[in-house]
C-alpha cells in the first residue's frame, strides 16, 4: 500500500504521497482523542492498528485495475446474442463526503458483440470501484465505462440501489431511504423496451 496517488495536493504540481502506516495510526489516535477518549486506555490501545487494517481492506480498490479483470474474454458463445446480466451484486462502499458506509445491491448488464467475459469479473469490477471513496453516482458511471471500454458491447446498463449511513445515522436520520442510480449506453439507451426489460429483471 505504498503507491503514490496522482492528483491535487497542497501544491498543485506535486503528486499526493500516501502516508506511512505509522502516520496513519497516529491520525487514528488523534481522532480518538478529539472524540473525547484516551487512545492509551486498554480498550483503545490496539484500535489504531485495527482501523488501519480495516482501511486497507475497505479501500483496496485503489490498488486494483478493473481493465485487468475484463481483459480475458471468450469468443465462442454458440450464437448467443441477448442480455448478459448479474443481479444483486453486494455493494459495500464509503461516500467521499463523510467517509460513512453505504450498502446495497448492484445490477449490471451488457449486450455482447463477439465476445463475453467471465461473469465473476463483472462482480469484481463492481467491488473494485466500491472499495474507493466516491459518490454513488460516480461509481455507477465508473462501472459502466469500464465495461463499455473493455468489452465494446452493443450497450451496457448499470443500476445501484443503496442506503447511505451519512443519511441514516446522522443528519436527517431517515433509515429507510435508499438511493437508486442508473446509467445506460448503446442499445440500452436507445431502445426503450430493452431498457424497461432490464429494469424489470432488476426488480425495479
Which residues have a catalytic role annotated?
95-98, 136, 164, 166
Q: Which of 123, 162, 163 is nearest to 143 (CA)?
A: 123
C-alpha cell of residue 42: 486498554
Paired residues of 104 in beta bridges? 91, 162
Cβ-Cβ contacts under 8 Å for 185 (sequence gap 6 or more): 144, 148, 155, 156, 157
Between CA 13 and CA 9 the distance in angstroms is 8
The torsion of the CA quartet 79, 82, 87, 91, rounded to 10 degrees, works out to 90
Which strands, in side-by-side order, build the sheet including 155-164? 133-134, 84-95, 101-111, 155-164, 179-184
Amino acid at each position: 500500500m505504498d503507491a503514490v496517488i496522482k492528483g491535487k495536493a497542497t501544491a498543485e504540481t506535486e503528486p499526493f504521497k500516501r502516508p506511512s502506516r505509522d502516520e496513519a495510526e497516529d491520525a487514528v489516535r488523534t481522532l480518538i482523542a478529539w472524540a473525547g477518549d484516551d487512545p492509551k486506555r486498554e480498550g483503545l490501545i490496539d484500535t489504531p492498528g485495527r482501523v488501519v487494517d480495516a482501511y486497507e481492506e475497505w479501500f483496496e480498490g485503489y490498488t486494483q485495475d478493473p481493465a485487468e479483470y475484463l481483459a480475458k474474454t471468450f469468443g465462442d458463445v454458440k450464437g448467443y446474442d441477448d442480455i448478459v446480466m448479474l443481479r444483486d451484486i453486494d455493494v459495500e462502499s464509503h461516500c467521499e463526503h463523510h467517509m460513512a458506509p453505504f450498502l446495497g445491491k448492484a445490477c449490471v448488464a451488457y449486450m455482447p458483440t463477439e465476445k463475453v467475459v467471465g461473469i465473476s469479473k463483472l462482480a469484481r469490477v463492481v467491488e473494485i470501484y466500491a472499495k474507493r471513496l466516491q459518490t454513488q453516482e460516480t461509481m455507477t458511471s465508473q462501472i459502466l465505462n469500464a465495461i463499455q471500454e473493455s468489452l465494446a458491447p452493443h450497450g451496457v446498463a448499470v443500476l445501484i440501489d443503496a442506503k447511505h449511513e451519512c443519511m441514516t445515522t446522522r443528519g436527517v436520520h431517515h433509515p429507510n431511504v435508499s438511493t437508486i442510480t442508473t446509467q445506460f449506453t448503446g442499445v440500452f439507451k436507445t431502445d426503450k423496451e430493452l431498457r424497461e426489460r432490464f429494469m424489470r429483471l432488476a426488480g425495479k
